[in-house]
Amino acid sequence: MAAKYFTVTWDQLHRDARALAWRLLERGPFTGVVAITRGGLIPAAVIARELECRVVETISIVTYDEEERGAPKVVKTPVAAGDGKGWLVIDDLVDTGTTLRVVRALLPGAHVATVYAKPAGKPLVDTFITEVSQETWILFPWDTEPQFIAPIARL
């Protein structure tokens, strides 16, 4: 279990992904977007829409099973992105940087962006929007659902 949780709603994710698109505008234009599946898929869709980029590729690296980190496994490489030059790589977050280290080795020329970043992974990212502490676990809307909680006075 993480020490703290940071819950991101659909609205917040949309706002933060659009804020990232604003920052990326001056770094483009890009030949295409590479989404790191699965977490990067929705941010990549929002950003591709804002940057009017129609070409979207995917790369799949499996690093975590829920909150448990394992060795990164590349289960799909992008077909069209070459060495990444002119391409924009998008992920939802960088934590330890394990996933992005693998991605950067495969696509050394790409511009790498994430919506959220933790301190240990920040050096692996070219552009990000929101930083959270290393001990915080980010909860995304696709992994959560609203539920009843007890009044504060009863906690």
Ligand X SMILES: O=P(O)(O)OC[C@H]1O[C@H](OP(=O)(O)OP(=O)(O)O)[C@H](O)[C@@H]1O
Ligand Y SMILES: Nc1nc2[nH]cnc2c(=O)[nH]1
58 contacts which partner out of Mg ion, ligand X, ligand Y, none, CB within 5 to 8 A by kind?
none
| Between 31 and 60, CB nearer to ligand X | 60
| Between 107 and 152, CB nearer to ligand X | 107
The burial class, CB within 10 Å (0-12 / 13-18 / 19+), for 52 is exposed
Buried b (16+ CB within 10 A) or exposed e, 74-89: eeeebeebeebeebbb
4 contacts which partner out of ligand Y, Mg ion, ligand X, none, CB within 5 to 8 A by kind?
none
Residue 117 as a binder of ligand Y (CB under 6 A): the answer is no
Q: Is 114 annotated as a binding residue?
A: no
Q: Is 96 annotated as a binding residue?
A: yes
Alpha helices in the chain, H assignment, sequence order: 10-25, 41-50, 98-106
Residue 128 as a binder of ligand Y (CB under 6 A): the answer is no
The residues annotated with a catalytic role in the active site are 91-92, 95
| Between 93 and 113, CB nearer to ligand X | 93
DSSP letter string, 74-99: EEE--SS-TT-TTEEEEEEEESSSHH
CA distance 66 to 101: 20
Interacting residues toward Mg ion by CB under 5 A: 39
- CB–CB of 146/14 below 8 Å? no
CB of 5 to ligand X, least distance (A): 15
CA distance 155 to 150: 7
Interacting residues toward ligand X by CB under 6 A: 36-39, 62-64, 91-99, 121
62 contacts which partner out of ligand X, ligand Y, Mg ion, none, CB within 5 to 8 A by kind?
ligand X
The annotation places the binding site for xanthine at: 95, 138
